[in-house]
Chain A
Amino acid sequence: MKNKGYMGKILMVDLTSGEIQEEALPDPVYEKYLGGMGLGAHILYTRIPEGADPLGPDNMLAFLPGLLTGTGSLFTGRWMVAGKSPLTGGWGDANCGGTFAPEIKRCGYDGIFVKGISEKPVYLYINDHTRELRDASDVWGMDTVETEEYLEKHAKANGKKPKVVCIGPAGEKLSLISGISTDKGRMAARSGLGAVMGAKKLKAIVLSGQKRINAHDREEMKRLSRMCNKWVQFQPPFVNGPMTAFVGALLRIMPTVLTQDGMLYKILLKKWGTVSMNQMSPEMGDSPIKNWKGTSSDWGFKKSYSSNPDVFKNCEIVKFHCYSCPLGCGGICTMDKKYSHTHKPEYETVLALGGFCMNEDVDGIFYMNELLNRAGMDTISAGHAVAFALECYEEGIITKEDTDGLELTWGNSEAIVTLIERMVKREGFGHVLADGVKQAALRIGKGAEAFAVLAGGQEPAMHDSRNDPGFALHYSVEPTPGRHTLGSHLYYEMFKLWTVVKGVPKIPPMYLKGSKYKNPEKQAAIGAANSRFMTLVNCTGACLFASFLGAKRFPLFGWINAATGWKLTPNEYMNLAGEIHTVKQAFNVKHGIEPKNCKISERALGRPAQTEGANKGRSIDIEMMMTHYWEQFGWDSQTGKPSQETIKRLSDGV
């Protein structure tokens, strides 16, 4: 056990042979790759062989807590899963909160790495004395909530409930948009990594450890946490739910923008959670509507009112805090349909199954949220697949004969719910959509791909890249494409990195909206700083939303030094993060990904530009931004690939 925040060991599990071995890691590995995402990138880059089948035995799946998890810092209870994505063919990762992350460290590990394929369904059980693969035939076929309840009951040890991550039927049936669930409905949803777990016949991981997690200077950790918490608890009264729409409308109408301070978003998140954006985002042009072809005018106040934030707050019975989170943006809600409780749907889910499909039925959204969580299917990708089908139906590419009689018209809630039910079961037309938009377009053919909006094979999230070119850039250039949690211009404004990191672009207190669409070199520099910082966030197990507080109120760099005893400057950490980011890009190159092919679809770039709504006339010069972004990391400006010398250096390891 070390007094450096990390445990100094990882666990390697081979499902084919059944071997489980601890592996000690030397300090220089942590000094270079930190932990969490960085540690995962290092191990997976060096150990997954070139060309490995994502659903084959050579692929590895990593479950990673953060470097700061359990050290006394706040907002650092997120865990990550990483592996080669069957959805994109390249680096895949997904990030999740809940209470699972500290349990990995309490079992004594900074990561659990799984390779091979088991002959029969198994789950991995670890406590202080035991590490074993157990028969999972009893739970194979159960949904994620049933699985967790069963394993909590049957694998209980030391009086404490064990912590569980598991897949549902979607992962078992190798859906390429399936994720991994914990805390009965929180999902590491993106990149299709649930299918990797399903292919390995690994139903769940059950942990029940009691080890201490020691920080180098816990008093300093606490001092920084108390400072951060003061900002979190500052919660002035705020407008009611529907009034958020007017804030959004104001942001749309104004030609200039005041640089955003994350305190506004903190206040919204603490009061409502991410659903606070349900009306504000569409009004300001941040939400893609109607499979990216609609505008803010198509999903105006009257339509979005059905999912106004107060609807969700009013049926919330208890707030849900992830481990070490003083804010609590999550919640458990009651509902009238088949299931009595559900995790409060996130903004992404509400929009993907709501405005994105022109669906005003909020009860249906609650139900589909729970259904997808139980199946272990990504709500963002599932919503995309449905909206894609609705447009194909509108265009006459598919008919009722193809859809098993479903009338797939925009906003037809009954048909949308039935379609989702069939997707999770892979029944009939549901099977066509069950692997996401890319596979659906291939299966339908007849030119359907014209309506597919993708980045590197993954469905982008519910933040419109035409409204914020930063989203366009990060959807297109991140080693795991199509992700909304890795950077945007708005995020960068809120991070306020220039207050602690030297040499990164500073955003003026007020600027013209149009300036974001010019000067691709500066936008790329902002994007690179974003990527570096978010890499640090994902190495430490920190929360994106907490980062909105700003670099001075959310003392990430100070926490890392206090937890580890290192004495690095913010700039030195940003440089390390750049190296880790390069490892992920090198992973993609090793596995045959052409970075320039990950560019998001033309429609999401405003090509052609929309003729009405919040994003009227906007289009993004993404190619120039991508080129300059790659230069920021020293990668080839034309191909986006790290140099051969860099790749050799990374392959040699520490």
Chain B
Amino acid sequence: MAYLITENCNGCTSCAGLCPVEAIQGEKKERHVIDADFCIECGACARICPQSAVQDPSGRIVQSEKKKYWKKPAFDYSTCMACGICVNACPVGCIMFGQPSLKDKNAYPELADPGTCISCGFCADECPVEAVMLMPPGEEQIAKAG
């Protein structure tokens, strides 16, 4: 299964520039194509598309949203195990381990590069203890408070 670009595509190239696995090909101002063999279903192409021209794997058109409103991962450090699953799951490398504190020598994950986050949610999806949540910008503190 993979995302699909419909005929409404105007070839703006936004999706191809954002795709973390370079699965989207196409000429400028022409309809783009997603290679299903490489698509990891992160949905970034659909969220960024100004034409709302991308279908998700279930066939539904995804409405685009301005990138500044995309939800981003926030971490509940009272639950987090510092196991690194979310760091590994992130396809763009925006989650990294932070510095340990004086009291706790574990290094916990943090959103080190919010600008590159594509709001795919793989971090939250793969976290076994639900210590990662996708939150609207500005509400990260809710997760941190547990």
Question: Which residues of A are in contact with B by a Cβ distance under 8 Å?
Answer: 70, 72-74, 77, 99, 102-103, 106, 128-129, 158-161, 210-212, 218, 221-222, 225-226, 229, 232-233, 316-319, 321-326, 328, 331
User: Which residues of the other chain, B, contact A226 by a CB distance below 8 angstroms?
Assistant: 128-129
Smallest Cβ distance from A376 to chain B, in angstroms?
Answer: 24
A378–B54 Cα distance when bound, in Å, is: 53
The interface-forming segment of B8-16, B83-91, B132-140 is: B83-91
Smallest Cβ distance from A228 to chain B, in angstroms?
Answer: 9
Select one of A102, A159, A225 contacting B92, CB under 8 A: A159
A73–B92 Cα distance when bound, in Å, is: 23
Contact B105 A316 (CB under 8 A): yes
Contact A319 B83 (CB under 8 A): no
User: Which residues of the other chain, B, contact A70 by a CB distance below 8 angstroms?
Assistant: 88, 126
Could you pull out 16 A-B pairs where Cβ atoms are within 8 angstroms? Answer: A74-B83, A74-B128, A99-B88, A158-B93, A159-B116, A161-B93, A210-B21, A210-B91, A212-B122, A229-B128, A232-B81, A318-B105, A321-B83, A323-B83, A323-B84, A323-B85
User: Which residues of the other chain, A, contact B88 by a CB distance below 8 angstroms?
Assistant: 70, 99, 102-103, 106, 323
* With known contacts A158-B91, A229-B129, A325–B83 Cβ distance under 8 A: yes
Smallest Cβ distance from B133 to chain A, in angstroms?
Answer: 14
Select one of A129, A221, A321 contacting B82, CB under 8 A: A321
Cβ of B56 within 8 Å of any chain A Cβ, yes or no, is no
A212–B81 Cα distance when bound, in Å, is: 22
* With known contacts A226-B129, A321-B84, A160–B105 Cβ distance under 8 A: no
Q: Which of B101-146 contact A (CB under 8 A)?
A: 105-107, 116, 122, 125-126, 128-130
Contact B84 A72 (CB under 8 A): no
User: Which residues of the other chain, B, contact A317 by a CB distance below 8 angstroms?
Assistant: 100, 105
User: Which residues of the other chain, A, contact B69 by a CB distance below 8 angstroms?
Assistant: none
A605–B106 Cα distance when bound, in Å, is: 41
A2–B23 Cα distance when bound, in Å, is: 19
Contact A159 B106 (CB under 8 A): no
Q: Which of B22, B99, B126 has the most CB of A within 10 A?
A: B126
Contact B82 A326 (CB under 8 A): yes
A128–B126 Cα distance when bound, in Å, is: 20
Cβ of B20 within 8 Å of any chain A Cβ, yes or no, is yes
User: Which residues of the other chain, A, contact B85 by a CB distance below 8 angstroms?
Assistant: 72, 323-324
Smallest Cβ distance from B124 to chain A, in angstroms?
Answer: 11
| Closest A-B pairs by Cβ, 10 of them | A326-B81, A225-B128, A160-B93, A210-B91, A159-B93, A318-B100, A222-B128, A128-B21, A319-B105, A210-B21
Select one of A77, A210, A324, A325 contacting B20, CB under 8 A: A210
User: Which residues of the other chain, A, contact B99 by a CB distance below 8 angstroms?
Assistant: 318
A159–B129 Cα distance when bound, in Å, is: 27
* With known contacts A159-B93, A210-B21, A318-B107, A129–B83 Cβ distance under 8 A: no
A479–B93 Cα distance when bound, in Å, is: 40
A218–B107 Cα distance when bound, in Å, is: 26
* With known contacts A319-B82, A328-B82, A158–B21 Cβ distance under 8 A: yes
A233–B92 Cα distance when bound, in Å, is: 30
Cβ of B40 within 8 Å of any chain A Cβ, yes or no, is yes
Measured CB to CB, the nearest residue on chain B to A232 is: B81
Smallest Cβ distance from B116 to chain A, in angstroms?
Answer: 6
A233–B83 Cα distance when bound, in Å, is: 12
A158–B94 Cα distance when bound, in Å, is: 11
Proximity bits, B55-88, A CB within 8 Å = 1, else 0: 0000000000000000000000000011111001
User: Which residues of the other chain, A, contact B83 by a CB distance below 8 angstroms?
Assistant: 74, 321, 323-326
A77–B128 Cα distance when bound, in Å, is: 14
Q: Which of B22, B82, B83, B99 has the most CB of A within 10 A?
A: B83
Measured CB to CB, the nearest residue on chain A to B128 is: A225
Contact B100 A72 (CB under 8 A): no
User: Which residues of the other chain, B, contact A318 by a CB distance below 8 angstroms?
Assistant: 99-100, 105-107
A475–B10 Cα distance when bound, in Å, is: 67
4 extra A-B contacts, CB within 8 A, seeds A72-B85, A318-B100: A72-B128, A74-B83, A159-B116, A226-B128
Contact A319 B20 (CB under 8 A): no
Measured CB to CB, the nearest residue on chain B to A228 is: B128
A166–B105 Cα distance when bound, in Å, is: 28
Smallest Cβ distance from A187 to chain B, in angstroms?
Answer: 19
User: Which residues of the other chain, A, contact B105 by a CB distance below 8 angstroms?
Assistant: 316-319, 331
Contact A324 B100 (CB under 8 A): no
User: Which residues of the other chain, A, contact B130 by a CB distance below 8 angstroms?
Assistant: 222
A73–B22 Cα distance when bound, in Å, is: 29
A69–B51 Cα distance when bound, in Å, is: 38
Q: Which of B38, B81, B88, B128 has the most CB of A within 10 A?
A: B128
User: Which residues of the other chain, A, contact B106 by a CB distance below 8 angstroms?
Assistant: 318-319, 321, 328
Measured CB to CB, the nearest residue on chain B to A230 is: B129
A646–B88 Cα distance when bound, in Å, is: 41
Smallest Cβ distance from A8 to chain B, in angstroms?
Answer: 13
Smallest Cβ distance from A10 to chain B, in angstroms?
Answer: 17
Contact A225 B129 (CB under 8 A): yes
Smallest Cβ distance from B106 to chain A, in angstroms?
Answer: 5
Measured CB to CB, the nearest residue on chain A to B106 is: A319
A229–B79 Cα distance when bound, in Å, is: 10
Smallest Cβ distance from B66 to chain A, in angstroms?
Answer: 22
Smallest Cβ distance from A422 to chain B, in angstroms?
Answer: 35
Smallest Cβ distance from B143 to chain A, in angstroms?
Answer: 17
User: Which residues of the other chain, A, contact B128 by a CB distance below 8 angstroms?
Assistant: 72-74, 221-222, 225-226, 229
A20–B91 Cα distance when bound, in Å, is: 25
Q: Which of B82, B88, B100 has the most CB of A within 10 A?
A: B88
User: Which residues of the other chain, B, contact A161 by a CB distance below 8 angstroms?
Assistant: 93
A351–B22 Cα distance when bound, in Å, is: 49
Smallest Cβ distance from B115 to chain A, in angstroms?
Answer: 11
User: Which residues of the other chain, A, contact B126 by a CB distance below 8 angstroms?
Assistant: 70, 72
A212–B20 Cα distance when bound, in Å, is: 13
Contact A229 B81 (CB under 8 A): yes
Measured CB to CB, the nearest residue on chain B to A223 is: B128
User: Which residues of the other chain, B, contact A72 by a CB distance below 8 angstroms?
Assistant: 85, 126, 128
Smallest Cβ distance from B39 to chain A, in angstroms?
Answer: 10
User: Which residues of the other chain, B, contact A128 by a CB distance below 8 angstroms?
Assistant: 21-23, 38
A325–B106 Cα distance when bound, in Å, is: 12
Contact A212 B41 (CB under 8 A): yes
A221–B129 Cα distance when bound, in Å, is: 10
A210–B93 Cα distance when bound, in Å, is: 10
Smallest Cβ distance from A128 to chain B, in angstroms?
Answer: 5
A420–B72 Cα distance when bound, in Å, is: 50
Contact A211 B84 (CB under 8 A): no
User: Which residues of the other chain, B, contact A326 by a CB distance below 8 angstroms?
Assistant: 81-83
A316–B126 Cα distance when bound, in Å, is: 29
A324–B84 Cα distance when bound, in Å, is: 6
Measured CB to CB, the nearest residue on chain B to A74 is: B128
A211–B21 Cα distance when bound, in Å, is: 9
Measured CB to CB, the nearest residue on chain B to A225 is: B128
A221–B23 Cα distance when bound, in Å, is: 29
A103–B91 Cα distance when bound, in Å, is: 11
A537–B132 Cα distance when bound, in Å, is: 28
A211–B106 Cα distance when bound, in Å, is: 28
A319–B41 Cα distance when bound, in Å, is: 33
Smallest Cβ distance from A467 to chain B, in angstroms?
Answer: 32
A70–B91 Cα distance when bound, in Å, is: 14
